[in-house]
Amino acid sequence: MVCIDGARVRRMREEQGLTQLYVATSVGVTTDTISRWENRKYPSVKKENALKLAETLGVELEDILEKKPDQPQFDRQEGQDADRPVPECVDRSAIEEESEPTHTEGTARSQGHWAGKRQWIITTLVTLILLVAGGGGLYYWRHTPATKDITVNAVRSLPNHAPAGASFPVIITLSSSSKEKISLILTEYLPKEVRILKSVPPWSASSPDKRKIKWIVSTSKPRFTICYLARILSKTPENATLMFNGDVTSSLTGKRVFPVKGTYTITVRPFHWADLNSDGQIDDEEILRVFDELGDRKGLAFGLDEIKNLWSTGGYRWNTKTHKYIPVLQERNNEDQDKQ
C-alpha cells in the first residue's frame, strides 16, 4: 500500500480537464473510489492502482504520493533510479489499537451485561446484510452480460498517401458484441510527424504533445464511428512511412485490451489523399468514394469544396512552397497570362 496526496490528484485531474469517470475507467475502479481518494477517505491505495492513476494523469508515481515533513521531496533528476522504493502507508488502525488504554476489571464486568445482547444484534445485522447482498448479486448476475463473452472491434481507415504540410482524414469504426449500452475508451497513438487538428466527436483527453489521444464513447449502437482530421508536418521527408497505433477497452471486457485493426501506415507523397491511384487527378470513382465515406461528416472540414474543384478541373499539382493544391486549369491560365 502507498499513501497518495488526494488534493494533488484532484488538482492534476482538473488541470487536464479529466472527469472522475474517465480516471475511474482508466484505473479500473468506480467513480466513488476516485472521489474517496481525492477527499482522503481512502488515503492508502494499492501500489498497482496508484501506478495506473499516475499513468492516467501522465505523471510519475512519485508526483502523486503524499510528502511527509520528514521525508525528502521526490523531485526526479536526470540519472536517478526510477525503481527506487516508495514510502508505504502506516497502518494507523494498528497504532490506535496499541495506544488504546486498558480497561479495568470493573469496566469489563459492566460491559459483560451487554455482551450477549450485542452479539445478537451483530448476528442479526450480518444476516440481513448477507441477504441483501445475495439478492443484489443475483440481480446483477441476471442483468449483466458475462464479460468474457463480450468482444470489441476497432478498424482504422487511413489514406494511402498525403503530402507533407497537408491534412487528411482518419476514420475509426467501433463495434461490440454487447446487446446493451456499452462505454468504450479508444486510444490513438500518432506518429511524431503528425498532429491532430479536430475530431468528431471531440476527443476526451490528450497528452501534452497531442500524440496520445483518447475518446470516451458511450453508445447502444452496434457500430459507432470516430473521425479526426490530422496534418503531416511540412518538414517531413518525402516517401517517409508514418505508422499509427491504437487500442480500445471497456469495463465490460475486464482487463482485455483490443488493438485497432485496419490500415496503420500512410506514405508522404505529393498527391492528394483522395487521389487513390496517384495519377494527379481526382476522377468520378474517387470523388464518389469520398462522398460515401465522408460526405455526411458535419463539423469536420476535410476540404470537400477543394476536392470538388480539383475533380472539376481535371488535374492538380502540389505546391511544396505554399502547401496548396493548384488546379491544372488555373496553372495553365497563369502561364498564358505570363506569356501575354
Grid coordinates standing for 289? 468514394
Cα distances from 137 to residues 30, 142, 165, in angstroms, run 17, 9, 56
Check residue 240 and give its pLDDT.
96
Query: 10-residue block means of pLDDT along the chain (340 residues)?
Result: 90 88 88 89 85 90 78 44 46 36 41 57 78 60 54 92 95 88 93 95 93 92 91 95 94 82 95 94 92 79 88 90 84 52
Query: What pLDDT does residue 77 have?
Result: 41
**pLDDT on residue 165:** 94
Q: 2-64 has which fold?
A: 434 Repressor (Amino-terminal Domain) (1.10.260)
- Among 39, 57, 41, 256, which Cα is nearest to 49's? 57
What integer pLDDT is reported at residue 148 of this predicted model? 53
- Domain boundaries defined on the chain: 2-64, 116-145, 147-269, 274-340
Name the pTM for this structure: 0.56
Q: What number does CATH give the domain 147-269?
A: 2.60.40.3670
Per-residue pLDDT at 251 = 76
Nearest to 260 by CA among 167, 147, 171, 197: 171
> How far is CA 45 from its chain centroid?
22
Q: What was the pLDDT predicted at 81?
A: 40
Q: What is the pLDDT of residue 16?
A: 87
Query: CA dihedral defined by 24, 27, 30, 32, rounded to 10 degrees?
Result: -70
